[in-house]
Amino acid sequence: MPELLQQKSAAVVRRSRYGFLTLPNYSLIALSNALEPLRMANSLSGQTIYEWPIISLDGQPAVSSSGLTMTPTVGVEQLGRVDILFVCGGINVRDAVSPALFSLLRRLADQRVPLGALCTGGYALARAGLLDQYRATIHWENLSALREEFPRVLISDQLFTIDRDRFTCSGGVAPLDLMLTLIRSKLGPRISQLVSEQFIVERVRNDQDRQYIPLRAQVGLSHKGLIKVAELMEKNIERPLSLDEIAQATALSRRQIERLFRRHLNCVPKRYYLEMRLRRARELLLQTSMPIMDITTACGFQSPPHFSKCYRKQFGHPPSAERAPAGNGAPRA
């Protein structure tokens, strides 16, 4: 075991107990990606730092969307103390919630138990009124519906969101990123990095990373003109097109394009295009060794100062900060 881990093992670390409340048709991949980093952190540290009881309302193993179940699963009355209770959702989440579930969640909230959600589990928290005035996220397929149904929830398209005592996460592999962030805050960046290496994760994403949401999912298949404009923008990152050039190529007028963006994306075309180029720049910064000057050019910015100014405004730090050594500032790898 590396010397650092031996030192960590020598000092007893307070256990963290994360409960996972499985709803019918929960996402097994989301739950697995939450559990495995905790197991690996225990293994690497040489201590049982994390426990992860799986629970259901009736104590019977809930059937996941893949038809598999998790054992052992215990009932709510056997849960005991938890540091965070995560509601694990999946498909058909509206059919998976119930008054008994809302009552349980409200009771836990009254007891000051921090609450979280994986995949569509955020819907249960929102229905129970436990996300009002909280920043929260959910799987991208449910973002629009959640915004519409729960206007008091501050819906985000982030991979995961930590806001005070609420920990919400989108689906798929995003729970792994959330758990790595929690592990980092408890055990430090070295163990978090080692956990990520064990799972062959090239980069630990943080809460500034956003879900990739297909434009078709945002606006619907019927808005072919808007989709065509966005696809044209994506094909012309290095040399951004003017709005007149886009209008000519798509047989739409400037006014039509501006109206489409305002109505369906709540922004102007220029802003959408800029954010697309900045996302591409961030991918290159984090996933390649390209010099910043080359990334500036590849993403269509006039000069490094202009690129840096736009990047700082969007992400809160300059491009160079993305390549800061792990352990300085926000979690990065």
User: Domain with 110 in it: what CATH number?
Assistant: 3.40.50.880
Residue 287 structural domain: 215-323
Write the burial class of residue 290 (CB in 10 Å: 0-12 exposed, 13-18 middle, 19+ buried): middle
Residues 94 and 194 in one domain: yes
- Residues in the chain predicted with pLDDT less than 50, given as ranges, are 1-10, 326-333
Residues 32 and 151 in one domain: yes
Residues 273 and 169 in one domain: no
| 156 half-sphere exposure, CB direction, 13 A CA radius | 20
Query: What pLDDT does 142 receive?
Result: 80
The domain tally of the chain equals: 2
Residues 191 and 240 in one domain: no
Query: What pLDDT does 124 receive?
Result: 96
Residue environment code for 41-66, b if the CB has 16+ CB neighbours within 10 A, otherwise e:
bbebbebebbebbbbbbeeebbebbe
Residues 165 and 299 in one domain: no
Query: What pLDDT does 222 receive?
Result: 53
DSSP designation for 61: P
Contacts of 289 (CB under 8 A, 6+ apart): none
Query: What pLDDT does 144 receive?
Result: 67
Where among 163, 198, 233 does a domain terminate?
Answer: 198
Residues 177 and 275 in one domain: no
Task: Please tell me the distance from the alpha carbon of residue 74 to that of residue 52, in angstroms, as a whole number.
Answer: 11
Cβ-contact 136, 127 below 8 angstroms = no
Which structure tokens are listed for 116?
A: 């979280």
Residues 155 and 252 in one domain: no
Query: What pLDDT does 140 receive?
Result: 80
Query: What pLDDT does 216 receive?
Result: 59
| Per-residue model confidence as pLDDT tens digits over 271-323 | 999 998 998 898 788 767 889 999 999 999 999 999 999 999 998 899 998 87
Task: Please tell me the distance from the alpha carbon of residue 70 to that of residue 34, in angstroms, as a whole number.
Answer: 14
Residue 207 lies in a domain: no
Query: What pLDDT does 148 receive?
Result: 76
Residue 15 lies in a domain: yes
Residues 194 and 65 in one domain: yes
Where among 165, 198, 231 does a domain terminate?
Answer: 198
Cis peptide before 72 (omega within 30 of 0): yes
Query: What pLDDT does 331 receive?
Result: 35
For the domain that residue 247 is a member of, what is the CATH number? 1.10.10.60
Task: Please tell me the distance from the alpha carbon of residue 162 to that of residue 167, in angstroms, as a whole number.
Answer: 5
| Per-residue model confidence as pLDDT tens digits over 4-34 | 444 444 467 789 999 999 999 999 999 999 9
Query: What pLDDT does 218 receive?
Result: 58
Annotate 268-305 with DSSP letters as a single string.
-HHHHHHHHHHHHHHHHHHH----HHHHHHHTT-S-HH
Look up the pTM and report it.
Answer: 0.68
Where among 139, 166, 198 does a domain terminate?
Answer: 198
Query: What pLDDT does 42 receive?
Result: 95
Residues 64 and 162 in one domain: yes
Residues 309 and 174 in one domain: no
Query: What pLDDT does 213 receive?
Result: 60
Tell me which amino acid residue 108 is.
L
